[in-house]
Amino acid sequence: MIADREYYDEEAETMSYKDLEDIQFRKLKAVIRYAYDNSRFYRKRWKEVGVTPDDINSMHDFQRRIPPYTKDDVRRSTAPGDPTAGLYSCKPEEISIYSMTSGTTGVNTVLGMGQAFADEIVEKLFMRHYWMTKLRPGMKVFQVLTGWHFLGIMTNLVLTKMGASCVTPWGTTMQKYIHNMMRTMLDNKPDYFIGIPWMIQALMEEATRIGVEPRKVFSSVRYMQLSGEPMTQGLRKKIMDETDVIDVFDAGGNTDGVWGSADCYVHRGWHVWMDVDLLELVEMDSLEPVDYGGKGRWISTLLLLGGPLVIRYLGDDLAQVERERCECGRTHYRVRIFDRLDNTFRMNGRLMTPYEVSLVVEEVCGYRLFTIVNPEAGGDKLKLLIGREGDRDPCAEMLDEIDRVAHKKLGIGIEARLVARERLPFAHRKLVRILRGPDGTLIKGDR
Amino acid sequence: MIIQAEPWDEPDVRYIYLTRRSLEALAEVLANLMDRSGVHARNKVLVYDFSMSLPAIVVSRAYAPELRRGACEILDCSMMSVDGVPELAARSAFMFSMLQPEVLMIRSELVSVFRSNLERGDIASANPNLEIVLIVHPDPAPLPREVKLGPGVFSRHLLYKSDDGLFLGLLEDGSLYYPSGYYDVKCSSGFVEVRPLFAKERRSHRTSLECGPSGVEVVSL
């Protein structure tokens, strides 16, 4: 491998759409045949709608005839002894690695895979992904080890294959272990940082607390890869300004759907590899297909065998999937997740998420933490609580400007208030981005 | 690989420096001890410990960057892990009931909260497949007088770990078992001293385990 080249696998990453579509459909036929012949879960569902593998002769057939399924369908099918709901494409005795999803919705689901599958998906998905985000052989990488999570396991296998070394603090990705993380960063000076956006601010605050210049925590770090929270350009700029790293990459995807990747240096969405995953977009309610470039719910199909068996898994996010060659030269999907469906709302007939609101706030005040309060409560203005920064936050004088920009960009007004950051609502270590119900009236004053 | 050692004397921060050879040797040691405990091919292992805890990290190549073959790959087992914090006891108990592993590896201080999250607090009835429990005991924490696992026909073993000595051993019936060829272990001034032979740069480390007539007997496997 030549360390300064752009691609891990140039031929695969820049392949024409014609070739990618041919590969997708060939792999899709094999996956469908395997599922029908071996999986009770799929065979039962497909028999109910009267479809067999022989009926699927085009992508149109696939989208129209194979029914999607959801996380609830998986949960209903799990049983003691088989937490994967039988959703694997190898012999049961070949499963050697069980991993979990992050459990954001309350219950973790389980993926089972064989060693050969792990090696294949590392080579075809995760090595490309990490190479794209500038991880290189010989680098010293900071990460909090997470052997339970699919992405954590894949990252470990990538580091081994890449020939990078790892430095890890004691603990897990919880606020109470932040001191361990900070000491490990200061003492071991990694080149590369893998984490979650909230960790950056928390590490800098911990450094300040013990009298260390916050920038020192990241003084050795050249690149960061962050996942787990939506990343806007404003957040990226804030992190780069505060840490002096060369670049910050946004990684993400969905473990239930077994798809994911990161953005390239152009930073216009995650490149999801089309020879590994087939992604579709559908309307929120009707589930009718949406053209690439539009917004909708995503549906994923994993095109590899030997691990999780995923065929038209319907996700719970509002997403945009683009299919056009990127400035970086890659042809594969570019995906943006705006937010979970729970975090969408309608105002003036328009479907929105906190992502669009954050772009307005960023344009006026720069990146800020904020919570939207009761967006469905009526009225012509969206109510917002913005976390105050410092004693004399200039944003306090710019609330009318936020309202003006919101009218221009979103077609609605915003009534914003500044509150102390610790008064913003958090749950399960994450900021509550939309506060609904009576609690929405509990945070008062403090302007 | 550099792992921050389990903190005992804060603010003292220590690191474990592991070469690929050390990682491989630790994986072989763990496989050896699991084998002695009765773990065999096709067993499912649930690990409820921190991902960077010395025995947990060498369970599988999937858990340790730079490791080519972990204990479960050596023994041909499958594995799942849950982070070793009490906040995740409910998740751990749920996965224990769903996966129905033959082997449970659990930190000693988590046993109580783990059991209380099982239906009726009963390990054996939550998972009738369970055969072996490996209770991870970190040096220098005081040895637990009794770890209450409740009734069941599964076998119980105390898996002793010392970060500073890169040492893993089994404490059973007043004896400390360790795989010969990997460690130089002796009783010195009433305490067990260990030196990993696979890490030449390491000197002997005195553990908090008492030995001699009033303590454990050191037994090489």
Decide if A415 is inside a domain: yes
CB contact under 8 A, A166 and B82: no
B142: left (phi over 0), alpha (psi -120 to 50) or beta: beta
Q: What is the pLDDT of residue A311?
A: 98
CA distance B109 to chain A (A): 15
CB contact under 8 A, B62 and A157: yes
Residues A147 and A230 in one domain: yes
ipTM more than 0.90? Answer: yes
Q: Examine the pLDDT at A440 and tell me if it is beyond 70.
A: no
A interface test, pick of B4, B95, B161 with most A CB neighbours within 10 Å: B4
Q: Which of A42-56, A412-426, B170-184 has the lowest mean pLDDT?
A: A412-426
CB contact under 8 A, B80 and A146: no
CA distance A119 to chain B (A): 10
Contact status, residue B89 vs residue B110, Cβ threshold 8 Å: yes
| pLDDT band of A447, cuts 50, 70, 90 | very low
CB contact under 8 A, A168 and B4: yes
Q: What is the pLDDT of residue B214?
A: 80
Q: What is the pLDDT of residue A439?
A: 55
- The CATH code of the domain that includes A388 is 3.30.300.30
Three-state SS letters, A395-418:
HHHHHHHHHHHHHHHHCCEEEEEE
Residues A87 and A182 in one domain: no
Decide if A425 is inside a domain: yes
A383-406: average pLDDT: 92
Angstrom distances, CA of residue B137 to CA of A169, A172, B111, B145, B154? 20, 19, 11, 12, 19
Domain count, chain A: 3
User: Among the CATH numbers 3.40.50.12780, 3.40.50.1950, 2.102.10.10, 1.10.150.120, which is that of B2-139+146-173?
Assistant: 3.40.50.12780
CB contact under 8 A, A147 and B56: yes
Q: Using only C-alpha atoms, what is the Rg of chain B? A: 17
Cβ burial of A233 (10 Å; 0-12, 13-18, 19+) is middle
Q: What is the pLDDT of residue B186?
A: 94
Q: What is the pLDDT of residues A88-104, one digit of tens each?
A: 999 999 999 999 987 76
Residues A357 and A334 in one domain: no
Q: What is the pLDDT of residue A442?
A: 43
Decide if A238 is inside a domain: yes
Contact status, residue A373 vs residue A241, Cβ threshold 8 Å: no
Cβ burial of A19 (10 Å; 0-12, 13-18, 19+) is middle
Percent of chain A at pLDDT > 90 equals 78
Q: CB of B26 within 8 Å of any CB in chain A?
A: no
Q: A160: which chain B residues are within 8 Å (Cβ-Cβ)?
A: 61, 65-68
CB contact under 8 A, A145 and B129: no
> To 5 degrees, how large is the angle CA A278–CA A279–CA A282?
140
Decide if A364 is inside a domain: yes
Higher per-residue confidence, A336 vs A351: A336
Residues A329 and A267 in one domain: yes
| Six token digits for residue A328 | 């970086």
Residues A201 and A214 in one domain: yes
A205-218: average pLDDT: 94
Q: B95: which chain A residues are within 8 Å (Cβ-Cβ)?
A: 83, 100, 108, 110
User: What is the CB neighbour count within 10 angstroms for residue A353?
Assistant: 22
CB contact under 8 A, B85 and A174: yes
Max CA separation in chain A (angstroms) = 68
Q: B100: which chain A residues are within 8 Å (Cβ-Cβ)?
A: 80-81
B interface test, pick of A160, A191, A255 with most B CB neighbours within 10 Å: A160
Reduce the DSSP state of residue B107 to 3 states and report it: strand
Q: CB of B67 within 8 Å of any CB in chain A?
A: yes
Q: CB of B171 within 8 Å of any CB in chain A?
A: no
A4-14: average pLDDT: 95
Interface size, chain A vs chain B, as Cβ–Cβ contacts under 8 Å: 134
Q: A174: which chain B residues are within 8 Å (Cβ-Cβ)?
A: 85, 87
Q: How far apart are CA A427 and CA B125, in angstroms?
A: 33
Q: What is the pLDDT of residue B144?
A: 83
Give the residue on A whose Cα is nearest the Cα of B50. Answer: A171
Please name the residues in contact with A348: beta carbons below 8 A apart, sequence gap of 6 or more: A380, A411, A412
Count of positions (residues) in chain A: 447
CB contact under 8 A, B6 and A170: yes
Reduce the DSSP state of residue A305 to 3 states and report it: coil
| pLDDT band of A357, cuts 50, 70, 90 | very high
Find the CB nearest A148 among B4, B76, B83.
B83
Q: What is the pLDDT of residue A342?
A: 85
Q: Which domain holds residue A323?
A: 10-117+254-342
A356-372: average pLDDT: 92
Find the CB nearest B13 among A96, A165, A183.
A183
Residues A413 and A428 in one domain: yes
Q: What is the dihedral of CA A92, A97, A101, A102, to 10 degrees?
A: 150
Q: What is the pLDDT of residue B151?
A: 87
B interface test, pick of A170, A206, A210 with most B CB neighbours within 10 Å: A170
CA distance B35 to chain A (A): 17
Find the CB nearest B100 among A81, A172, A183.
A81
CB contact under 8 A, A145 and B63: yes
A360-367: average pLDDT: 92
- The CATH code of the domain that includes A192 is 3.40.50.980
A342-366: average pLDDT: 88
| Six token digits for residue B25 | 């040797």
For A40, phi then psi, to 5°, come to -65, -40
Decide if A2 is inside a domain: no
Q: B48: which chain A residues are within 8 Å (Cβ-Cβ)?
A: none
A116-127: average pLDDT: 98
Q: B91: which chain A residues are within 8 Å (Cβ-Cβ)?
A: 103, 108
Q: How far apart are CA A219 and CA A246, in angstroms?
A: 11
- The CATH code of the domain that includes A84 is 3.40.50.12780
Q: Name the residue type at position A433.
A: R
Decide if A1 is inside a domain: no
CB contact under 8 A, A110 and B98: yes
Give the residue on A whose Cα is nearest the Cα of B54. Answer: A170
Find the CB nearest A160 among B65, B79, B91.
B65
Q: How far apart are CA A366 and CA B103, in angstroms?
A: 51
Q: What is the pLDDT along chain B (221 residues), one digit of tens a residue?
A: 999 999 887 667 899 999 999 999 999 999 999 999 999 999 999 999 999 999 999 999 999 999 999 999 999 999 999 999 999 999 999 999 999 999 999 999 999 999 999 988 889 999 999 999 999 999 998 888 888 888 888 999 999 999 999 999 999 989 999 999 999 999 999 999 999 999 988 999 999 999 988 888 889 88
Residues A348 and A338 in one domain: no
Q: How far apart are CA B24 and CA B26, in angstroms?
A: 5
Q: Which of A204, A224, A245 is the last residue of a domain?
A: A245
For A279, phi then psi, to 5°, come to -110, 135
CA distance B82 to chain A (A): 5
Q: B2: which chain A residues are within 8 Å (Cβ-Cβ)?
A: 165-168, 184, 188
Q: Which of A291, A312, A342 is the last residue of a domain?
A: A342
Q: How far apart are CA A400 and CA A403, in angstroms?
A: 5
For A233, phi then psi, to 5°, come to -60, -35
Q: What is the pLDDT of residue A105?
A: 67
Give the residue on B whose Cα is nearest the Cα of A162. Answer: B66
A interface test, pick of B40, B50, B76, B100 with most A CB neighbours within 10 Å: B50
DSSP state of A278: E
DSSP string, A72-101: HHHHHH-BTTBTTTT-BSS-GGG--EEEE-
CB contact under 8 A, A174 and B62: no
Q: What is the pLDDT of residue A427?
A: 73
